[in-house]
Structure 1
């Protein structure tokens, strides 16, 4: 039987390609920026309207195109980057598939203006929905100007899946950040709804570019990394252990100057900081890996963000060792403990099997990729934990080193309390508010200055002091907000906070909400904001770290959660920053005050994030463990 297989019309094929390449406005910005960079532009200007849904305009001063090349550029698989199959294994440019322009033109109203240097006239091409409307001579500056209007206007089903303008803008900002960071020698300007959002001068050093994108505060706790082994080279800047974030927004990885999201590199960075930063926190790293192009496959996915290494295990270990060596030197300590190569089960979590896994790096060293003019950044001050509740009596005792167990002297035995608290496998799951059960517990001491030990009757209770204090602040903030009675404290000395342009866009969207939650922020020029007031309960918090973490959480939660969940996340972050930390010594009077406050809570058995706050061990359970029953 015949007639089932047909060749797809060009229009259908272009729409399929567009589905792979053009996912959202940020995809368009990425493709157009990469084309400009490959065209050796030294200045790229970007304009965005309504999160890219209304218009995207990209102008560059690269080498432009002749009329013949401009017409060919809108044919599928037309490219200047490769000529034969062998070229695919030696790709050094950002774009090479030849699908970007025809894919974008098939789902938008596109206008191209281009002219080569030295030409007297340029070319103008207008395409709507893949249909060429106009090709004509036109005056133009050398380089290329591409305007994309009404993205997805012919595919309304795709259009309705786009997020809000602010969310789409955040995706665009991430793309711009990655490519601007990878090419500090190129100047960039960005306008959002006709308002200048970013201005980066050409010929920056990498450190200057990081400061321009992430703020000068970010570079104060960075140290330079530069290590090589054979044909492998890693360079860039990494954060000291005191500098960590709530997500990976400050973790950028590049392979041969190509921004990538790679499990091998991400895992290597996280493992290098193992035991050096708190759990569920992420190190700051701007890491550039250089290696021969034949040892990495960039042709894995149409977006070119995913790559595959020939010897992923060797690269993983090289990056881990380079980071740990750099940190050891920066901290003036003995070498950090060497980390063993992960076993096969761990390796499978971040690398893919390869037939060439045993390949050796014996190629000639790559051309030096060091950014000129870089100097090591002085070591920053370590972050300090948030102080304890102002309601607690102040401690007069030096904390010293954490002890394994610090008992409180109490010669007499307390009177047994009421019936034991209900628990499931030792974890307290239900406590009735207002029952004064916590107040009846007798403090015994602290374990590792992190867990409070108390007894009541025949039961031993272990309380996570940070989780307990976090719950107290969370419910207090909730109550004050519900009653519209949030206590605000104006700062005697306002705090200056520098943001990345992506953080700035998030902050602008949520400024009214933050004001409602007691955080009064005002623009102070460029990407700098002034914090003028905070909730009174947060008066002793680290304000900069608080704002950065709030923005990190808003960036992440904005992708998946609704408004109410975002607002609740704000309270959780604020409570976390105010609560006492682990390894903080408490006096018995402070513990008693904390227990009394727990009795007034609605849900005094988990932290705001849902982790257990208290565990019960009965005397019977202990006697069974010791074989006494």
Structure 2
């Protein structure tokens, strides 16, 4: 048996490099984060062969004193924390003091720097972990880190690197993520001696970087949100449901400015988009979550990709409710509007006590044509699921004699559309196409509405509102069910008995791995209560809350609304069509049907002119 002995310093650094340095993108991440922590406002990134041959990071930050250069490449030496209290409230991107020595141990490494008040700079070379001497060097204020021949002395790691284009793609994706979080910093990237990308600096709260990084289409479809409550702040952008993706490639989450992946927040976002996304599609978002650093542990992952919240249930509920309420405002006929800039850190314009704190959503604007005085108002009348289409006519009073005269005078069969009267976003119906689509004219052009999909959403939302007012009732079982579960699920059921009761389940623990189920949600009595309960327990264990019962209820209500909606080939009168348009404008989430399909489309007059080459 071998005796215990201390490891050599170089081997220690190479082992640490295995955790910190996965590929060239990991090196770029660590070095650029150091530059930002040093106060840099411009960072130049020069790459060769996807970063394998060369990574050079130059910044205009505060610099490093000549005598401290050897300390910078020694393990666990840092200027960012000095005590346990600092570690528990760390606000910098880097803090462990592992990055530079780890990178230097697996590359040919040069560190050069100059502080603004020094007459000249200094440089230090490290070859495979062997530290050289500090030497004077001409250098502008700031720091340059040069990493050559990454993994040259660790062939087993180097052979796992991918093709040049692949490694460069990973670097560009991380820089895109950084550019979204720090629009105030200028980033210049070159590859193999040629400029490849430049992110120009802008206002901290401008939307310019959004279009630059994720495309103008995302920027046009994005809703700006800013919500403060319970000591938490969530701001950023969420794409409207019609802008969805086949993959999760445009999902960015930042916690106190740090890009992270978090299952709990991802789950909350997915729930918020629950019944407005077409099946299999992914939402797109850029979200910044801010909270007291003492309420989040950033020291749980070697590469700092993950965090742990002290109260993950509160964070999950906060994110879910914020996004759910924002998406509820995506009514048909409305466009995303530029929101007021989020308030800088330190300002508290919104209440921060309780989950009912203030919202500052970028609510969609009304029609952009003449007359913007029109406002959607929810009809006070209910919408029975099985109602006949003719009932729409009763929702609005007949036009006055004056109005009828105006209709006759203009000869169009439409109410007047002068700037004084205002034109609603979906305009006024002019025809029905094949008994399926409603054609309407608004101030901008043509609106096409899928009448079945639209009516389906209207009925669904009103059913949900009605059942939310009633609440979930429990139905006692004539013969209680004994359910065999894992011990962890039994522990969860015992701990969350009150939460389960609110959902309609009356449960007692009858053994280490068994539960006694005495009642189930009444509305779901014909469903599979055992499978539903298992899913609920899994959610409670992993996320601290469950929407399974509500989702199962919503699925049932959606089916009811679908069966009660107007069918294809059903002819509607013009008042009935207009009544449907007005209901769409007043109904939450009416831009999509219950299954996530769009309910309407807009064609501007300019777009229609292009179809016929008018003006050319």
Matches within 5 A, 1:369-388: 376=362
Quote the residue 2:534 is aligned against: none
Quote the residue 1:308 is aligned against: 308
Report the number of matched residues: 366
Q: CA deviation at 1:332?
A: 7.3
Quote the residue 1:367 is aligned against: 346
Quote the residue 1:534 is aligned against: none
Q: CA deviation at 1:139?
A: 0.7
CA distance in 1, matches of 2:51, 2:366: 39
Q: CA deviation at 1:376?
A: 4.2
Quote the residue 2:263 is aligned against: 263
Contact 1:330 1:379 in 2 (8 A): no
Counterpart secondary structure, 2:147: strand
CA distance in 2, matches of 1:332, 1:264: 30
Q: CA deviation at 1:297?
A: 0.4
Are 2:151 and 1:152 equivalent residues in the alignment? yes
Are 2:289 and 1:289 equivalent residues in the alignment? yes
Structure-2 change in CA distance of 1:377 and 1:112 (3 Å): farther
Q: CA deviation at 1:171?
A: 1.1
Matches within 5 A, 1:47-66: 47-66=46-65
Structure-2 change in CA distance of 1:233 and 1:149 (3 Å): same
Quote the residue 1:136 is aligned against: 135
Q: CA deviation at 1:397?
A: 5.2
Can you list the C-alpha shifts for 1:40-76, whole angstroms capped at 9, x where unaligned? 1011111121111111111100000001221100000
Can you list the C-alpha shifts for 1:344-367, whole angstroms capped at 9, x where unaligned? xxxxxxxxxxxxxxxxxxxxx973
CA distance in 1, matches of 2:362, 2:58: 35
CA distance in 1, matches of 2:190, 2:176: 14
CA distance in 1, matches of 2:317, 2:33: 30
User: Could you list the runs of 5+ residues in structure 2 that have no partner in the other structure?
Assistant: 335-343, 350-359, 368-432, 438-449, 454-558, 563-595, 600-616
CA distance in 2, matches of 1:208, 1:5: 58
Quote the residue 1:99 is aligned against: 98
Quote the residue 2:5 is aligned against: 6
Counterpart secondary structure, 1:245: coil
CA distance in 2, matches of 1:379, 1:168: 42
Q: CA deviation at 1:169?
A: 1.2
Q: CA deviation at 1:380?
A: 11
Counterpart secondary structure, 1:51: helix
Q: CA deviation at 1:196?
A: 1.8
Counterpart secondary structure, 1:76: coil
CA distance in 1, matches of 2:28, 2:283: 28
Counterpart secondary structure, 2:123: strand
Structure-2 change in CA distance of 1:172 and 1:303 (3 Å): same
User: Could you list the runs of 5+ residues in structure 1 that have no partner in the other structure?
Assistant: 335-364, 382-394, 404-446, 451-580, 585-629
Structure-2 change in CA distance of 1:377 and 1:61 (3 Å): farther
Q: CA deviation at 1:264?
A: 1.1
CA distance in 2, matches of 1:236, 1:249: 17
Contact 2:333 2:366 in 1 (8 A): no
Can you list the C-alpha shifts for 1:577-619, whole angstroms capped at 9, x where unaligned? xxxx9899xxxxxxxxxxxxxxxxxxxxxxxxxxxxxxxxxxx
Q: CA deviation at 1:147?
A: 1.1
Are 2:254 and 1:254 equivalent residues in the alignment? yes
Structure-2 change in CA distance of 1:123 and 1:264 (3 Å): same
Matches within 5 A, 1:131-280: 131-204=130-203, 205-280=205-280
CA distance in 2, matches of 1:135, 1:267: 50
Q: CA deviation at 1:189?
A: 1.0
Counterpart secondary structure, 1:304: coil
Contact 2:436 2:451 in 1 (8 A): no
Are 2:436 and 1:398 equivalent residues in the alignment? yes
Quote the residue 2:415 is aligned against: none
